């Protein structure tokens, strides 16, 4: 099947002449290969060599010009996963004059976003590594939009969730394999290479055991904005005043099963007096799943990629993540981290099977489904006796796979007790006040007064932050630090008014540094104003 690139006709001769005369131009953002996205004009790709080509001419630009550091280890990451050595991008270089000896270039007129998907068959990876980063990379660069063309260069086939990727552009995304059908030398008129990592919240344990990223830069607001976009694409209109509260049990049909699912369903319905619905990726369309989850009061599921759908839950909803025997919930927190992002406003509870008699293990399965019979006998025995998988790196730790692919008979009373003790039904528990921070206090001044020989006073005053004039803030406080010049310690004060006379521990003939900042609602700390230097 041939891939129609665009209806836009381009003047071929002019484009070819521009390529030969101007060569490739590249300007990137980001200081390191791990945070870099590059914008190119006239970047080419040889489908025979499977290499990107940078053509040098008098007008070429290459910024950053890293010299050989471009290979240490790469110019940039093509996927949103940090520094993964299978995901590196680079180009090879040629003089533009070499075009004379090459196949006639085929020009790609669409603005291209060239990237790798990380694991397109796993729903969690689809959202976390690809869809959300694509969505926000498109928002980051002015000439990317939903008319841009996505190029997936990781080399996989469409994968199980290609329909979701199609929502990210009005044009058909193209796979690496399909590029061959377009021509031998493709030249992208305008392209962006790489994905923004600003929205990712989890690292999968390639260099240290998995966990939340060290410096999370995304809040629930952006995740929910993305969720709303996806729901639009799925034709789901959110039913704000849903008639009836209900619980969704997201089940897996192939592995990591809940063996007493029917019993659990009944128990949840009875305990919470709510309808309870089972869904699975095998039996429901993705749109139906999202439609159900987006109005649910509670989502219950085994740990697993399907839990990424918790990003569609309404605010205030409860996420219950179940863990098999031997798997410590604190060590595997992609969904906990998501649920507890500020502004997600979800209530998260983990439950773990702690009773060995309630677990069903599969030592005889293939290793990737948790089998261990390929290991030597003593190692098999050690794994079977172990009560908890020690922290480990990704991705083939046999003890981890053995435990995570167990089936579980859920101890229903212990589960219900955990849910009841850790959550509140029908509430938005920790209300996240949209973080509006105060500005600096203004016009701060100090005035010293001597009081005989041994004592002195310091009168300090300031004006409210400029943005407070336009805000209704429940609680406005000022924090003042008084530091004697040259000392490491300071005296802190919390004040409600805009001036104060300090007399405690104030000495005459001394220089004090005074730091002032405003605090909204006890927790929103503003910046310090420029330090005041006060001589008594
Ligand atoms: N999956 C599923 N039903 C199953 C097992 C897996 O729908 O019984 C889905 C799962 O949600 C994920 C993909 O298949 O999207 C791969 O599952 P895997 O167990 O490899 O990954 P995990 O869920 O542990 O991230």
ipTM score for this prediction: 0.99
User: Which of 306, 308, 397, when mutated, tests ligand 1's pocket best, judged by the most ligand atoms within 8 Å of its CB?
Assistant: 306
**For 367-509, where are the alpha helices, taking DSSP H only?**
377-385, 398-404, 412-422
Instruction: Name the DSSP class of 340.
Output: T
pLDDT of residue 1: 42
CA distance 397 to 57: 50
| 213 CA from centroid of ligand 1 (Å) | 22
pLDDT of residue 391: 98
- The residues, any chain, with a CB within 8 Å of residue 417's CB and separated by 6 or more, are none
- Residue closest to 20 by CA, chosen among 74, 69, 58, 72: 58
For residue 422, what are the CA distances in angstroms to 165, 298, 347, 348, 529?
A: 36, 13, 8, 8, 41
pLDDT of residue 6: 55
CA distance 343 to 430: 9
How distant is the alpha carbon of residue 186 from its chain centre? 32
How distant is the alpha carbon of residue 64 from its chain centre? 26
CA distance 104 to 107: 10
Residue with CA closest to ligand 1 atom 14: 122
- Given a contact cutoff of 8 angstroms between Cβ atoms, the answer to whether 368 and 401 are in contact is yes
Q: Is 412 left (phi over 0), alpha (psi -120 to 50) or beta?
A: alpha
pLDDT of residue 400: 98
Across 10-59, where does the E strand assignment appear? 25-29, 37-46, 51-56
pLDDT of residue 401: 98
Per-residue pLDDT of the chain (536 residues), as tens digits, is: 445 565 556 789 999 999 999 999 999 999 999 999 999 999 999 999 999 999 999 999 999 999 999 999 999 999 999 999 999 999 999 999 999 999 999 999 999 999 999 999 999 999 999 999 999 999 999 999 999 999 999 999 999 999 999 999 999 999 999 999 999 999 999 999 999 999 999 999 999 999 999 999 999 999 999 999 999 999 998 766 667 899 999 999 999 999 999 999 999 999 999 999 999 999 999 999 999 999 999 999 999 999 999 999 999 999 999 999 999 999 999 999 999 999 999 999 999 999 999 999 999 999 999 999 999 999 999 999 999 999 999 999 999 999 999 999 999 999 999 999 999 987 654 555 567 999 999 999 999 998 777 889 999 999 999 999 999 999 999 999 999 999 999 999 999 999 999 999 999 999 999 999 999 999 999 999 999 999 99
- Residue closest to 220 by CA, chosen among 209, 211, 228: 228
| 122 CA from centroid of ligand 1 (Å) | 6
Q: Is 32 strand, coil or helix?
A: coil
Provide the sign of the torsion angle of the four alpha carbons 109, 112, 116, 118, taken in this order. negative
Closest ligand 1 atom to residue 122 Cα is 15
SS3 content of the chain, % helix, strand, coil (to 5): 25, 25, 45
- Terminal-to-terminal C-alpha distance of the chain: 84
**For 150-308, where are the alpha helices, taking DSSP H only?**
162-166, 176-182, 220-233, 261-272, 286-293
pLDDT of residue 388: 98
pLDDT of residue 425: 85
- Residue closest to 132 by CA, chosen among 76, 78, 80: 80
What is the four-CA torsion angle of 354, 356, 359, 361, rounded to 10 degrees? Answer: 130
- The residues, any chain, with a CB within 8 Å of residue 341's CB and separated by 6 or more, are 201, 216, 218, 219, 220, 223
| 355 CA from centroid of ligand 1 (Å) | 24
CA distance 467 to 440: 9
Which residues surround ligand 1 with Cβ inside 6 Å?
122-124, 252-255, 281-282, 304-306
CA distance 500 to 75: 56
| 158 CA from centroid of ligand 1 (Å) | 17
CA distance 61 to 329: 50
What global pTM score does this model have? 0.94
pLDDT of residue 427: 65
Closest ligand 1 atom to residue 254 Cα is 8
Other CB atoms closer than 10 Å to residue 506's CB: what's the count?
A: 21
Residue with CA closest to ligand 1 atom 25: 305
What does the block give as tokens for 198? 């600003």
Q: Is 442 strand, coil or helix?
A: strand
């Amino acid at each position: 099947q041939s891939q129609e690139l665009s209806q836009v006709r381009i003047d071929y001769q002019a484009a070819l002449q521009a390529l030969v005369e101007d060569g490739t131009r590249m300007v990137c953002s980001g200081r390191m290969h791990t945070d870099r996205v590059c914008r190119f004009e006239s970047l080419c790709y040889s489908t025979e060599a499977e290499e990107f080509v940078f053509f040098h001419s008098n007008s070429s630009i290459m910024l950053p010009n890293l010299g050989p550091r471009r290979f240490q280890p790469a110019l940039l990451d093509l996927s949103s996963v940090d520094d993964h050595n299978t995901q590196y991008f680079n180009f090879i270089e040629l003089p533009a004059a070499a075009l004379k000896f090459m196949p006639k270039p085929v020009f790609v007129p669409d603005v291209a976003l060239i990237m790798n998907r990380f694991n397109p068959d796993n729903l969690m990876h689809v959202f976390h590594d690809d869809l959300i980063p694509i969505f926000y990379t498109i928002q980051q660069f002015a000439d990317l939009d939903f008319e841009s063309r996505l190029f997936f260069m990781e080399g996989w086939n469409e994968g199980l969730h290609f329909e979701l990727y199609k929502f990210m552009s009005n044009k058909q995304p193209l796979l690496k394999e399909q590029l061959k059908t377009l021509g031998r030398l493709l030249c992208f008129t305008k392209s962006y290479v790489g994905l923004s990592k600003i929205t990712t919240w989890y690292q999968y344990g390639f260099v240290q055991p998995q966990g939340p990223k060290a410096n999370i830069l995304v809040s629930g607001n952006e995740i929910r904005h993305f969720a709303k976009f996806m729901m639009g694409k799925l034709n789901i209109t959110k039913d704000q005043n849903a008639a009836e509260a209900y619980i969704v049990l997201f089940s897996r049909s192939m592995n990591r099963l809940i063996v007493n699912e029917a019993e659990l369903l009944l128990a949840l319905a009875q305990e919470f007096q709510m309808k309870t619905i089972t869904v699975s990726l095998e039996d429901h369309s993705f749109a139906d799943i999202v439609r159900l989850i987006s109005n649910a009061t509670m989502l219950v599921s085994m740990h697993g990629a399907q839990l990424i759908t918790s990003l569609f839950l309404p605010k205030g909803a409860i996420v219950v993540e179940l863990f098999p025997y031997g798997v410590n919930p604190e060590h595997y927190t992609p969904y906990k981290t998501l649920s507890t992002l500020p502004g997600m406003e979800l209530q998260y509870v983990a439950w773990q099977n702690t009773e060995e008699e309630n677990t069903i293990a599969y030592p005889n399965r293939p290793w990737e489904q948790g089998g261990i019979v390929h290991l030597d006998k003593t190692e098999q025995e050690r794994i079977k006796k172990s009560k908890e998988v020690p922290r480990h790196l990704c991705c083939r730790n046999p003890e981890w796979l053995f435990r995570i692919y167990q089936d579980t008979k859920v101890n229903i009373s212990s589960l219900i007790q955990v849910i009841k003790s850790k959550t509140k039904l029908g509430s938005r528990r920790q209300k996240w006040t949209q973080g509006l921070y105060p500005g600096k206090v203004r016009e701060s001044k100090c005035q010293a007064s001597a009081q005989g020989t041994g004592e002195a006073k310091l009168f300090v005053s300031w004006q409210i932050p400029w943005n407070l004039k336009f805000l209704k803030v429940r609680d406005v406080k000022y924090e003042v630090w008084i530091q004697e010049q040259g000392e490491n310690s300071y005296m802190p004060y919390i004040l409600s008014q805009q001036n104060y006379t300090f007399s405690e521990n104030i000495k005459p003939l001394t220089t004090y540094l005074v730091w002032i900042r405003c605090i909204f609602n006890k927790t929103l700390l503003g910046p310090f104003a420029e330090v005041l230097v006060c001589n008594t």
